[in-house]
């Protein structure tokens, strides 16, 4: 959960997860649908699929015990170089070289590595290897990560409070706050779509499950047109993607959502269906949306539709 996600955001999800699936075997026996629903809102949903797959591999074909070897760990789904090293050091108490975003930043400043990321990573890894102790390696990793999270922060680092100030080359050169250097990001393209908010007579709303992989893979969605880089007219959208033959009423405003590499502007149209509409999908009551694997963007669309359509 903590991969690319802050502790404060993870906390409530983690506690809910651990309460619902206290053991590896519990998680392995859960359905992917339930795991995705519990993950909804956390983002990077491949992590949930990988975690579930990982639990099943360890529980069913690995006799219920994680391997303790770093390379074996890294072969499990969702466990990459960092996580395998962190598990080796923190869970199993053996030396391993772990470099996360915090450690990367601390080392880039400590040794004034001015090369741009990601090219500088191989150099930073050599520095990390040289510093990583044999004894209490897990504590070392967590100490450096905490230094990065509290004092050696991305912007306005608290160098005056830093216990490493005397040996920090970045600080001595006045570069600390500017490191590590990153290549400029290209601006995000904007994609457009129209979502179909279908309200059945009994108050249920039509949802669909997205394809198992890719963007929001396996999650539920409000039916919509494809997301493309041009506007849709209502006629175009209905012809291309309407889930039912209904009278569609455009709702005011736009739902804007920012993904990692593009921005989505969605308009919402509403249609009222009879008591037994022939649409493929899942009808879900509005007061039971918590049980659905709805990513934040879809929750936004529903909130918008309820606000302007009901």
Partner DNA sequence: AAGTCGTGGAT
Partner DNA sequence: TATCCAAGACT
Instruction: Find out whether the peptide bond into 188 is cis, omega within 30 degrees of 0.
Output: no
In terms of CB distance, is 220 or 273 closer to DNA?
A: 220
Give the nearest distance from C-beta 259 to DNA in angstroms. Answer: 5
Backbone φ, ψ for residue 291 (5° rounding)? -80, -10
**148 vs 281, which CB is nearer to DNA?**
148
Instruction: Name which of 158 and 239 has its Cβ closer to DNA.
Output: 158
Task: Tell which one of 61, 71, 122, 155 touches DNA (CB under 7 A).
Answer: 155
Picking from 178, 187, 185, the residue whose alpha carbon sits closest to that of residue 157 is 178
Name which of 80 and 93 has its Cβ closer to DNA.
80
DSSP 278: -
At closest approach, how far in Å is the CB of 47 from DNA? 7
Q: Which is nearer to DNA, 6 or 276 (CB)?
A: 6
Question: Which residue, 206 or 298, has its beta carbon nearer to DNA?
Answer: 298
Task: Work out whether 18 is an interface residue with DNA (CB under 7 A).
Answer: no
CB atoms within 10 A of CB 155: 5
Can you tell me the distance from the alpha carbon of 206 to that of 289, in angstroms, rounded to the nearest whole number? 11
Instruction: Give the residue with the Cβ less far from DNA, 114 or 142.
Output: 142
How many residues lie near DNA (CB under 7 A)?
55
Smallest gap, in angstroms, from Cβ of residue 98 to DNA? Answer: 8
Which one among 107, 108, 127, 145 touches DNA, defined by CB under 7 A?
A: 145
Which of 154, 163, 203, 212 is the binder for DNA (CB under 7 A)?
154
Pairing outcome for strands 263-273 and 249-250: antiparallel
Asked if 156 is part of the footprint of DNA (rule: CB under 7 A), the reply reads yes
Distance separating alpha carbons of residues 8 and 111, to the nearest angstrom:
30
Question: HSE (CB half, 13 Å, CA atoms) of 76?
Answer: 26
Site string for DNA, 170-189 (x = CB under 7 A): ------------x-xx-x--
**Closest residue by Cα to residue 195 from 144, 136, 256, 259:** 256
Distance CA 160, CA 104 (A): 20
Name the region of 63 (left: φ>0; alpha: ψ -120 to 50; beta: rest). left
84 lies in the site for DNA, by CB under 7 A: yes
Sort strands 220-221 and 249-250 into parallel, antiparallel or unpaired.
Answer: unpaired
Give CA–CA dist 304/310, Å, rounded. Answer: 10
Mark 221-260 with x for binding to DNA (rule: CB under 7 A) and - for no binding: ------------------------------------xxxx
Q: Is position 148 an interface residue for DNA (rule: CB under 7 A)?
A: yes
Among 38, 62, 78, 159, binds DNA (CB under 7 A): 78
- Sequence-ordered alpha helix ranges (H) in the chain: 7-20, 24-29, 32-39, 46-56, 70-74, 81-86, 101-110, 121-131, 137-150, 169-172, 234-241, 296-309
Interaction between residue 96 and DNA (CB under 7 A): no
Instruction: Give the residues lining the site for DNA (CB under 7 A).
Output: 2-9, 41-46, 50, 74, 77-84, 86, 100-102, 105, 118, 141-142, 145, 148-149, 153-156, 182, 184-185, 187, 214-217, 257-261, 295-297
């Amino acid at each position: 959960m903590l991969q690319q996600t802050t502790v404060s955001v993870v906390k409530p999800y983690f506690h809910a997860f651990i309460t619902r699936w206290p053991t590896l075997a519990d998680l392995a026996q859960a359905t992917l649908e339930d795991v995705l629903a519990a993950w909804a809102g956390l983002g990077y949903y491949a992590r949930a699929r990988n975690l579930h797959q990982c639990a099943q591999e360890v529980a069913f074909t690995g006799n219920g015990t994680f391997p303790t070897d770093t390379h074996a760990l890294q072969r499990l789904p969702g466990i990459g170089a960092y996580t395998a090293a962190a598990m080796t050091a923190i869970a199993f108490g053996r030396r391993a070289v772990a470099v996360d975003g915090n450690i990367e930043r601390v080392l880039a400043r400590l040794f004034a590595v001015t090369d741009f990321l990601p090219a500088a990573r191989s150099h930073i890894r050599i520095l990390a290897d040289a510093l990583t102790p044999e004894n209490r390696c897990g504590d070392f990793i967590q100490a450096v990560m905490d230094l990065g999270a509290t004092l050696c922060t991305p912007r306005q680092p608290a160098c005056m409070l830093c216990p490493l100030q005397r040996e920090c080359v970045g600080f001595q050169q006045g570069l600390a706050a500017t490191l590590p250097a990153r290549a400029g990001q290209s601006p995000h393209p904007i994609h457009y779509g129209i979502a179909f908010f279908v309200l059945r007579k009994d108050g249920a709303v039509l949802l669909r499950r997205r394809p198992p992989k890719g963007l929001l893979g396996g999650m539920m969605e409000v039916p919509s047109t494809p997301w493309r880089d041009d506007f849709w007219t209502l006629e175009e959208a209905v012809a291309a993607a309407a889930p039912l033959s209904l009278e569609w009423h455009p709702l005011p405003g736009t739902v804007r959502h920012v993904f990692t590499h593009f921005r989505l502007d969605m308009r919402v149209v509403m249609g009222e269906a009879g008591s037994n509409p022939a649409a493929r999908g899942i009808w879900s009551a509005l007061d039971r949306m918590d049980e659905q694997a709805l990513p934040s963007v879809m929750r936004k669309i529903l909130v918008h539709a309820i606000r302007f359509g009901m």
